[in-house]
């Protein structure tokens, strides 16, 4: 750390020296040079500088270093913190990795190097902060020793400011910042992002409240603070409260941690205990130096008001100086972009390595981008058109890298295409998988096309990428293949992929190489890679496609990348055995939000970080969807008559108000369990709301039913008594109340019974599907009765419906009983019910008595009786045992008869012939054969007298096991049939 700083300081004065010390920085001068080549462009940055009243002649030569340095400086300004703040943003670690990674990646600008972080997602930021915190103490003394140096730096800035750098200006014009300096002991979250005044030491500020009313302040009032809620608030629901925080730029987390600035306490917990008994309270109470307790929401409003005042007070200064230094990890980027004077611009532009492209063309893959403007995400050539909105059509006509997508130069191109990663470094998230895939392709030739080496067992000829849609699996496969220098051959669901088609299309390809006739083509023959997209979509039409694919994989001479959504599907499972299994996860919302903010910036949009996160959340962390939603938002704003140059804003509040238009249907993302919980908790949190809101909530719960209308009823049925039980034990005290709860229970079960009637109408013989909506309403009714007028609380995670399991074992028993009845049918004219309720108990008593006769088991009599009723041995020893209720059933079961008796019984039984018609029809000739076999075994046994009787039993068991096996398929089929029938 110390080192770093020392290097920095000279760097500011002597760019060359600085460059020599840091490889990454070396790039930047080049970049700036190139960016100066287009001075005519009215880049946002430039505008910003004008706003800042300090932009003058475009002498941008020194800008890069200055800018980077600047970021440092600003934090420097703020406090000793600067020692800690800058490094994460400058990312020494990724930089160090650059040389190794090949030069292609050198061109990472500030935001790009964030990508390294993106992979690590949220935690990365936390790490950064931890890092800050740790080093904080270490560096404390040094930092204190630094003031002179700091001053020096600022001086330098000042001297150069005249040249026009916004960033350089900013520290100067930020007189308040030093005052606001927060000492190290202040929680990290708060300090870097927001320079909080009046809080010299200890926990974050806390205002004493005077008014009992809600206060809505600036969108940045709570920025940098983390809030946790516990218990139920008086005037607002949990969701409203979270919205409130987010609207003011704060962060809401679920649990108390070292980074929690405030714990907002409600009056009581959901289950009725006082708030102080909650674990959150206890934890927060244990770390009062970090976390401040707010007794109720009015304290929260008061705090907002106070902080709002601070922010507003800062604004003039802040307008010039981007208060939160871009250096400070994550929130800064966001914050910056939403500010009038955009430090983001400064931090990105100068450090943009792409600009260097024209100079270092040969080495730099971004050379394509002839313009210097920085859009790291846009495919190469479009940067100028996006960045400077007023410029004419893009100068270059370089072909986009992505195969066959919309022309990215097109103004109307989908953002999802336009900002699709063009390099593997830009892929959001799943860094491990991408790396593995790259390695795998690179090693492929060595593993499988190497005559000197036999492929090991663990090597896979194919890779299987699996994960939800919209997270870049196909893109990854394409980019990685390209990166590894291979031709891509893609087959997706739009191609026929039956056995024959695959053979025809791929048979030749898999063993061959590409011949290129292009004149300039490299001498080297290019290898291929086959991408099988959407393999889980290989359906009935693609006859034998999967088997053929597996066969092809086994012989392939080129790597095959298979892509699917559902890793668990039966079809894919067989394939997975032959593949390198790479699972893709959804990137976290923070990661996506950050990228969205960046892209928004390039598209002339100001997106609040919280809004971006909410957007990502509402799209279910689907990047593609987020892009589409953003584009729609932008288009809509333009349609409303915004001037082309005007920046479009996307605020959290706006987003919440209009989220209906954007994003996926909310209920589609809710899991079945969450939806069920929502239904069962009824009016929870809405009891004191207006009628309209209640109505809306009812509709929402109604929608929740359709998350999975096949299961929701069962899920609710399984769990709703627990909601009432919770109320019964925790809240109902008097007999009267208990009685009330008992009545409610009866009402809820009655509603469930109504639901059952309707569901039977829907699924039963007549298929009255039009009643499904009424069934949904009844299910919701069950929940709202269970929840009571104030809503209930379901402790824990909803249990999976037990009915399914019970029903399947009922089906099994029905089938067994049916078999039994079939066997007995000729001699007994009782219905199946009567057989179960009357005959079986009588039979059991009778046979047990005979078998346990004190004078030795009377086997002949038992067998005679069995023959008369057409029962087989299995019927007695296995089927009847299934129908035995109660607790002390052990001595009632045939399987618990002494094994010697059983074995000798089996021998006796098998020795005779049993001519019951049902049995003969079922077992036919095989039964006779088996009989013989068992007999010979029996003889052998008697031959070796004294052999263990248990062995005999084992033999017998074996014989019956084989018989059972024969039946097994039928058994399996039966529940399936049942399930089908139910549907």
Partner 1 sequence: MALWVDKHRPKALQNLDYHNEISERLEAMSNTASLPHLFFFGPSGAGKKTRIQALLKELFGATALKTRLDSRTFETPTKRKIEINMITSSVHIELNPSDAGNYDRYIVQNVIKEIAQNHPLIQNKQVPFKVLIINEVDKLSKQAQAGLRRTMEKYTSVCRIILVGCNQSKVIDPLKSRCLGIRVAAPSIDAIASVLISTGKKESVNVPNELAVQIARMSGRNLRRAILMLESAHTQNPQLDSTVKAPRCDWEEYIVKLAAEVTGEQSPQKLLQAREMLYELLINCIPSSVIMKSLTIELLKNCDDSLKVEVVKWAAFYEGRMNGGKEIFHLEAFVAKFMALYKEYLTNLFG
Q: Which of residues 800-829 bind partner 1 (CB under 8 A)?
A: 802-803, 806, 809-810, 813-814, 817-818, 822, 825-829
Q: Single out the residue of 303, 564, 741, 859 in contact with partner 1 (rule: CB under 8 A).
A: 741
Min separation Cβ 756 and partner 1, Å: 3
For residues 43 and 349, what is the distance between their CA atoms, to the nearest angstrom? 10
Q: For residue 791, give both structure tokens.
A: 């809503």
Stretch that binds partner 1, among 28-36, 638-646, 762-770, 956-964 (CB under 8 A): 762-770
Nearer to partner 1, 408 or 745 (CB): 745
DSSP class of 429: S
692 binds partner 1 per the rule CB under 8 A = no
For residues 804 and 782, what is the distance between their CA atoms, to the nearest angstrom? 20
Backbone torsions φ then ψ of 404, nearest 5 degrees: 70, 10
CB-based burial label for 623 (10 Å; 0-12, 13-18, 19+): buried
Nearer to partner 1, 69 or 780 (CB): 780
**Number of helical (H) and strand (E) elements in the chain, helices listed first:** 43, 11
Min separation Cβ 902 and partner 1, Å: 20
845 binds partner 1 per the rule CB under 8 A = yes
Only one residue has tokens 């919309």, namely: 406
For residues 15 and 813, what is the distance between their CA atoms, to the nearest angstrom? 84
Stretch that binds partner 1, among 57-65, 560-568, 835-843, 943-951 (CB under 8 A): 835-843
Task: Work out the angle at residue 436's Cα, subtended by the Cα atoms of residues 434 and 442, and round it to the nearest 5 degrees.
Answer: 105
Q: Single out the residue of 141, 147, 764, 795 in contact with partner 1 (rule: CB under 8 A).
A: 764
Judge contact between 475 and 514, C-beta under 8 A.
Answer: no
Nearer to partner 1, 651 or 763 (CB): 763
Min separation Cβ 539 and partner 1, Å: 19
Min separation Cβ 749 and partner 1, Å: 4
Min separation Cβ 705 and partner 1, Å: 16
Nearer to partner 1, 868 or 911 (CB): 868
Helix, strand, or coil (residue 422): coil
Judge contact between 506 and 500, C-beta under 8 A.
Answer: no
How far, in Å, are 441, 445, 635, 815 from residue 842 at the CA level?
71, 74, 80, 21
Nearer to partner 1, 889 or 926 (CB): 889
601 binds partner 1 per the rule CB under 8 A = no
Q: Single out the residue of 578, 651, 653, 763 in contact with partner 1 (rule: CB under 8 A).
A: 763
Q: Single out the residue of 142, 738, 900, 966 in contact with partner 1 (rule: CB under 8 A).
A: 738
21 binds partner 1 per the rule CB under 8 A = no
362 binds partner 1 per the rule CB under 8 A = no
Q: What is the 3-state secondary structure (H, E, C) of 592-634?
A: HHHHHHHHHHHCCEEECHHHHHHHHHHCCCCHHHHHHHHHHHH
Stretch that binds partner 1, among 15-23, 97-105, 254-262, 859-867 (CB under 8 A): 859-867
For residues 201 and 185, what is the distance between their CA atoms, to the nearest angstrom? 6
Beta bridge partners of 526: 514
739 binds partner 1 per the rule CB under 8 A = yes
Q: Single out the residue of 728, 730, 790, 908 in contact with partner 1 (rule: CB under 8 A).
A: 728
119 binds partner 1 per the rule CB under 8 A = no
Tell me the number of residues near partner 1 by CB under 8 A: 74
Nearer to partner 1, 36 or 825 (CB): 825
For residues 77 and 167, what is the distance between their CA atoms, to the nearest angstrom? 12
Q: Single out the residue of 67, 241, 745, 777 in contact with partner 1 (rule: CB under 8 A).
A: 745
Q: Single out the residue of 374, 532, 748, 934 in contact with partner 1 (rule: CB under 8 A).
A: 748
Stretch that binds partner 1, among 258-266, 471-479, 840-848, 959-967 (CB under 8 A): 840-848
730 binds partner 1 per the rule CB under 8 A = no
767 binds partner 1 per the rule CB under 8 A = no
Backbone torsions φ then ψ of 828, nearest 5 degrees: -120, 130
Count the Cβ atoms, other than its own, within 10 Å of residue 101.
Answer: 12
Q: For residue 492, give both structure tokens.
A: 């997706």
CB neighbour list of residue 641: distance below 8 Å, 6 or more residues apart: none
Nearest alpha carbon to residue 465 among 487, 501, 441: 441
836 binds partner 1 per the rule CB under 8 A = yes
CB-based burial label for 760 (10 Å; 0-12, 13-18, 19+): middle
Nearer to partner 1, 901 or 918 (CB): 918
Nearer to partner 1, 433 or 718 (CB): 718
Q: Single out the residue of 746, 911, 961, 976 in contact with partner 1 (rule: CB under 8 A).
A: 746
Stretch that binds partner 1, among 228-236, 264-272, 536-544, 886-894 (CB under 8 A): 886-894
Site string for partner 1, 704-723 (x = CB under 8 A): -------------x---xx-
Nearer to partner 1, 522 or 983 (CB): 983
Task: Work out the angle at residue 752's Cα, subtended by the Cα atoms of residues 750 and 754, and round it to the nearest 5 degrees.
Answer: 70
For residues 938 and 947, what is the distance between their CA atoms, to the nearest angstrom? 11
Give CA torsion, residues 769, 772, 773, 777, to 10 deg: 160
Q: Tell me which residues in 490-529 interact with partner 1 (CB under 8 A).
A: none
Q: Single out the residue of 573, 846, 932, 967 in contact with partner 1 (rule: CB under 8 A).
A: 846
Q: For residue 980, give both structure tokens.
A: 């089908």
974 binds partner 1 per the rule CB under 8 A = no
For residues 378 and 579, what is the distance between their CA atoms, to the nearest angstrom? 33
Q: Tell me which residues in 900-929 interact with partner 1 (CB under 8 A).
A: 917-918, 921
Q: Single out the residue of 396, 447, 760, 899 in contact with partner 1 (rule: CB under 8 A).
A: 760
3 binds partner 1 per the rule CB under 8 A = no
For residues 581 and 660, what is the distance between their CA atoms, to the nearest angstrom? 37
790 binds partner 1 per the rule CB under 8 A = no
For residues 858 and 527, what is the distance between their CA atoms, to the nearest angstrom? 80
For residues 340 and 319, what is the distance between their CA atoms, to the nearest angstrom? 6
Q: Tell me which residues in 860-879 interact with partner 1 (CB under 8 A).
A: 861, 864-865, 868-869
Backbone torsions φ then ψ of 127, nearest 5 degrees: -60, -45
766 binds partner 1 per the rule CB under 8 A = yes
Q: Single out the residue of 53, 253, 833, 942 in contact with partner 1 (rule: CB under 8 A).
A: 833
């Amino acid at each position: 750390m110390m080192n770093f700083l020392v290097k920095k300081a000279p760097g500011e004065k002597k760019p060359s020296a600085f460059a020599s010390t840091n490889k990454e920085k070396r790039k930047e001068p080049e970049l700036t040079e190139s960016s100066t080549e287009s001075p005519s462009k009215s880049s946002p940055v430039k505008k910003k500088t004008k706003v800042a009243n300090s932009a003058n002649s475009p002498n941008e030569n020194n800008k890069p270093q200055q800018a980077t340095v600047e970021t440092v400086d600003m934090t420097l300004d703020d406090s000793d913190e600067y020692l800690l703040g800058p490094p994460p943003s400058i990312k020494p670690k990724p930089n160090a990795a650059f040389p190794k990674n090949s030069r292609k990646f050198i061109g990472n600008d500030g935001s790009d190097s964030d990508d390294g972080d993106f992979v690590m997602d949220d935690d990365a930021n936390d790490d950064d902060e931890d890092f800050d915190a740790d080093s904080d103490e270490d560096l404390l003394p040094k930092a204190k020793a630094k003031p002179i140096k700091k001053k020096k730096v600022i001086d330098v800035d000042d001297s150069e400011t005249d040249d026009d750098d916004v960033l350089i200006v900013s520290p100067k014009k930020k007189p308040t910042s030093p005052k606001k300096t927060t000492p190290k002991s202040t929680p990290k979250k708060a300090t870097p992002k927001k320079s909080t005044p009046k809080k010299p030491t200890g926990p974050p500020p806390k205002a004493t409240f005077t008014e009992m009313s809600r206060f809505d302040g600036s969108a940045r009032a709570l920025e940098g603070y983390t809030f946790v809620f516990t218990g139920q608030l008086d005037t607002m629901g949990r969701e409203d409260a979270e919205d409130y925080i987010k609207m003011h730029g704060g962060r809401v987390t679920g649990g108390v941690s070292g980074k929690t600035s405030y714990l907002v306490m409600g009056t009581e917990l959901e289950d009725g205990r006082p708030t102080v008994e909650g674990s959150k309270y206890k934890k927060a109470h244990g770390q009062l130096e970090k976390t401040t307790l707010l007794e109720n929401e009015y304290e929260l409003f008061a705090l907002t008001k106070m902080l709002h005042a601070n922010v507003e007070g800062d604004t003039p200064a802040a307008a010039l100086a981007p208060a939160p230094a871009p250096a400070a990890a994550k929130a800064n980027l966001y914050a910056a972009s939403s500010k009038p004077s955009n430090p983001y611009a400064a931090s990105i532009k100068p450090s943009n390595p792409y600009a260097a492209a024209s100079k270092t063309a040969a080495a730099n893959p971004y050379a394509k981008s002839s313009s210097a403007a920085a859009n790291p995400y846009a495919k190469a050539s479009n940067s100028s058109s996006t960045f400077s909105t007023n410029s004419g059509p893009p100068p270059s006509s370089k072909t986009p890298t992505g195969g066959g997508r919309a022309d990215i130069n097109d103004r109307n191109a989908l953002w999802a295409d336009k900002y699709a990663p063009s390099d593997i470094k830009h892929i959001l998230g799943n860094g491990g998988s991408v790396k593995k895939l790259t390695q795998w392709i690179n090693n492929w030739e060595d593993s499988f096309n190497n005559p000197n080496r036999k492929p090991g067992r663990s090597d896979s000829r194919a890779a299987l990428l699996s994960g939800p849609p919209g997270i870049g699996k196909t893109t990854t496969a394409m980019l990685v293949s390209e990166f590894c220098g291979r031709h891509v051959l893609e087959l997706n669901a739009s191609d026929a992929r039956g056995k024959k088609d695959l053979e025809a299309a791929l048979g030749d390809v898999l063993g061959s190489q590409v011949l290129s006739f292009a004149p300039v083509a490299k001498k080297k023959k290019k290898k291929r890679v086959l991408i099988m997209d959407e393999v889980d979509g290989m359906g009935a039409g693609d006859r034998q496609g999967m088997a053929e694919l597996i066969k092809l994989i086994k012989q392939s001479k080129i790597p095959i990348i298979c892509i699917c959504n559902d890793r668990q599907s039966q079809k894919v499972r067989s394939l997975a055995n032959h593949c390198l299994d790479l699972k893709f996860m959804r990137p976290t919302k923070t990661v996506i939000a950050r990228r969205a903010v960046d892209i928004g910036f390039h598209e002339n949009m100001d997106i609040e970080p919280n809004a971006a996160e909410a957007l990502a959340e509402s799209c279910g962390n689907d990047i593609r969807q987020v892009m589409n939603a953003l584009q729609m938002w932008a288009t809509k704003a333009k349609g409303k008559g915004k001037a082309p140059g005007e920046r479009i804003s996307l605020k959290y509040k706006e987003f919440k108000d209009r989220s209906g238009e954007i994003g996926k249907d909310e209920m589609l993302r809710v899991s079945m369990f969450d939806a069920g919980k929502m239904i069962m908790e009824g009016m929870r949190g809405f009891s004191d709301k207006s009628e309209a809101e209640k109505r809306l909530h009812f509709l929402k719960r109604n929608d929740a039913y359709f998350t999975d209308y096949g299961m929701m009823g069962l899920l609710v049925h399984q769990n709703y008594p627990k909601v009432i039980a919770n109320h019964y034990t925790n809240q109902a005290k008097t007999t009267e109340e208990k009685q009330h709860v008992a009545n409610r229970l009866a009402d809820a079960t009655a509603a469930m019974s109504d639901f059952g009637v309707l569901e039977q109408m829907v699924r039963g013989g007549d298929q009255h599907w039009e009643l499904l909506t009424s069934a949904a309403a009844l299910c919701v009714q069950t929940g709202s009765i269970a929840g009571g007028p104030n809503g209930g609380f379901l402790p824990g995670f909803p249990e999976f419906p037990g009915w399914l399991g019970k029903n399947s074992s009922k089906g099994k028993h029905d089938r067994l009983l049916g078999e039994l009845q079939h066997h007995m049918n000729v001699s007994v004219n009782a219905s199946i019910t009567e057989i179960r309720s009357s005959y079986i108990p009588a039979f059991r008593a009778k046979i047990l008595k005979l078998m346990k006769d004190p004078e030795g088991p009377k086997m002949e009599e038992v067998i005679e009786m069995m023959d008369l009723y057409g029962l087989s041995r299995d019927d007695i020893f296995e089927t009847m045992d299934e129908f035995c209720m109660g607790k002390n059933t052990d001595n009632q079961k045939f399987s618990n008869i002494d094994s010697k008796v059983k074995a000798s019984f089996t021998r006796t039984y098998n020795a005779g012939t049993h001519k019951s018609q049902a049995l003969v029809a079922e077992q036919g000739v095989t039964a006779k054969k088996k009989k013989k076999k068992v007999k010979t075994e029996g003889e052998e046994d008697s031959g070796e007298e004294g052999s263990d009787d248990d062995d005999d039993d084992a033999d017998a068991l074996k014989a019956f096991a084989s018989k059972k096996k024969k039946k097994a398929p039928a058994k399996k089929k039966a529940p399936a049939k049942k399930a089908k029938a139910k549907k």
